[in-house]
């Protein structure tokens, strides 16, 4: 769906969640113009619902109850930026892989990735060197997909996701000075004060791995990742605790770490990025990524996410072609299916409340903010 913003409506969201208790719903029929096509449940979703006013939602790519919820982060605007995104903003900081939905407190925003062109200063305050303005007219969101044109680097960004991995597609202009930034400092609330530790390793010219530890209102939280590029980078830069690391440095351990992979691209060339995450360790993130996005088929991954949403949303039939009714219902049902979020790896390994790894027999979930998520 082309970007159409709506203000928050928790009454509608609660109604949708309540109606989900039934097996089917019949609405009043409305005549359909001859030859017109009724949109699918996934096509009916407005992912921007609640992203203005006080809704605290995000428009990015996710699948039902996915650990990865890959979405743009806009500059911190106080309480109304708790989800990482607010419709009133016209700048994107980057695209991070975890988000809260509908909560009254900021958090998450882990493992931020951002394309850039030209000179980039990794030591600039809050990463402002690679932030980019954008227009809502060039922004699109659907269930399982998000895209936006970034005005500063002239790059089209597209996102999709699986349960435990995010898939980025960045279409660059012709340049000898293209970059993809990996920011382990950025957080939804914009402050690095709760970052305790981080580590990064450049494994080869297409793979970077590492973790960061955040100690915030919920205690220590470890997020491990493996990131892969579809194209080998020509060089890379690492900044650790505000200090540029010597050329050729392939690893860093510090509280604040950023790195930047550098590319030459032709006009219209797409560089793909896959990111698997885990709470259990780097190898857990690697297993998740390998299992869920084994190749480089962005469109296929997007189609799979759309199918999951159509199957899930379509479990309740809305027997009306009226697009407004379908949009209202399926949009609210969609948001009711984003939390709680999956927390175990593909092999059922998870980090328990004792902060030790365990292997379960069923899926393990987290983010039970019940007063905010019904």
pLDDT value of residue 370: 60
pLDDT value of residue 92: 97
- H or E element, residue 19: helix 10-19
Does residue 310 belong to any structural domain of this protein? yes
Does residue 104 belong to any structural domain of this protein? yes
CB 88 within 8 A of CB 76: no
Domain enclosing residue 311, as ranges: 6-373
- Checking DSSP bridges between strand 145-150 and strand 155-161, what pairing results, if any? antiparallel
Nearest partner of 260 among 305, 229, 230, judged by Cα = 229
Can you read off the two tokens belonging to residue 373?
């998520």
Does residue 1 belong to any structural domain of this protein? no
Does residue 155 belong to any structural domain of this protein? yes
Does residue 61 belong to any structural domain of this protein? yes
Q: What are the φ/ψ torsions at residue 17 (nearest 5 degrees)?
A: -60, -40
Phi-psi region of 241 (alpha: psi -120 to 50; beta: other; left: phi over 0): left
pLDDT in tens, the chain (374 residues): 555 544 444 433 434 443 443 434 444 344 455 556 888 999 999 999 988 888 888 899 999 999 999 999 998 767 777 778 888 999 999 999 998 887 777 778 899 999 999 999 998 877 789 999 999 999 999 999 999 999 999 999 999 999 999 999 999 999 999 999 999 999 887 677 788 899 999 999 999 999 999 987 667 889 999 999 999 999 999 999 999 999 999 999 999 999 999 999 999 999 999 999 999 999 999 999 999 999 999 999 999 999 999 999 999 988 888 999 999 999 999 999 999 999 999 999 999 989 999 999 999 998 876 655 55
Residue 289 CA to residue 308 CA, distance in Å, equals: 18
Tracing tokens 């303005």 back to the chain, one arrives at 133
Does residue 350 belong to any structural domain of this protein? yes
Residue 313 CA to residue 337 CA, distance in Å, equals: 9
Q: Three-class SS of residue 265? A: strand
Q: Per residue in 37-60, is it b (16+ CB within 10 Å) or e — as a string?
A: eeebbbbbbbbbbbbbeebbbbbb
Total domains present in the chain: 1
Does residue 111 belong to any structural domain of this protein? yes
CB 148 within 8 A of CB 115: no
DSSP state letters, 155-208: EEEEEEE-SSEEEEEEE--SEEEEEEEEESS--TTS--TTEEEEEEEEEETTEE
Nearest partner of 343 among 324, 332, 357, judged by Cα = 357
pLDDT value of residue 245: 97
Q: Three-class SS of residue 79? A: helix
pLDDT value of residue 47: 96
Q: What is the CATH number of the domain that holds 349?
A: 2.70.98.10
Does residue 207 belong to any structural domain of this protein? yes
């Amino acid at each position: 769906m082309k970007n159409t913003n709506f203000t928050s409506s928790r009454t509608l969201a609660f109604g949708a969640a309540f109606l989900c208790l039934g097996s089917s719903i019949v609405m009043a029929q409305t005549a359909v113009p001859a030859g017109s096509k009724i949109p699918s449940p996934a096509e009916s979703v407005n992912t921007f619902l609640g992203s203005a006013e006080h809704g605290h939602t995000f428009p990015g790519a996710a699948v039902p109850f996915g650990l990865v919820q890959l979405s743009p982060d806009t500059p911190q605007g106080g309480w109304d930026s708790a989800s990482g995104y607010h419709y009133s903003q016209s700048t994107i900081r980057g695209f991070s892989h975890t988000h809260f939905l509908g909560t009254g407190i900021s958090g998450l925003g882990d493992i931020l990735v951002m394309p850039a062109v030209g000179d980039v200063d990794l030591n600039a305050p809050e990463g402002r060197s690679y932030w980019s303005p954008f227009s809502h007219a060039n922004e699109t969101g659907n269930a399982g997909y998000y895209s936006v044109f970034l005005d500063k680097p002239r790059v089209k960004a597209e996102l999709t996701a699986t349960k435990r991995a995010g898939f980025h597609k960045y279409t660059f202009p012709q340049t000898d000075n293209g970059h993809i930034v990996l920011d382990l400092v950025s957080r939804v609330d914009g402050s690095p004060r709760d970052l305790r530790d981080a580590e990064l390793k450049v494994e080869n010219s297409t793979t970077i791995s590492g973790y960061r530890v955040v100690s915030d209102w919920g205690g220590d939280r470890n997020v491990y990742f493996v990131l892969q590029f579809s194209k080998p980078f020509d060089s890379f830069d690492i900044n650790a605790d505000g200090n540029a690391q010597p050329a050729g440095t392939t690893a860093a351990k510090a509280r604040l770490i950023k790195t930047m992979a550098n590319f030459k691209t032709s006009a219209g060339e797409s560089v793909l990025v896959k990111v698997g995450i885990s709470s259990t360790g780097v190898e857990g993130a690697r297993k998740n990524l390998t299992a869920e996005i084994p190749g480089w088929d962005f469109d296929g991954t997007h189609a799979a996410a759309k199918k999951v949403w159509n199957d899930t949303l379509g479990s309740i039939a809305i027997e009306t072609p009226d697009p407004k009714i379908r949009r209202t219902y399926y949009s609210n049902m969609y948001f009711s299916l984003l939390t709680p979020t999956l927390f175990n790896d593909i092999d059922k390994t998870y980090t328990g409340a004792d902060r030790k790894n365990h292997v379960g027999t069923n899926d393990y979930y987290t983010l039970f903010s019940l007063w905010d998520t019904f």
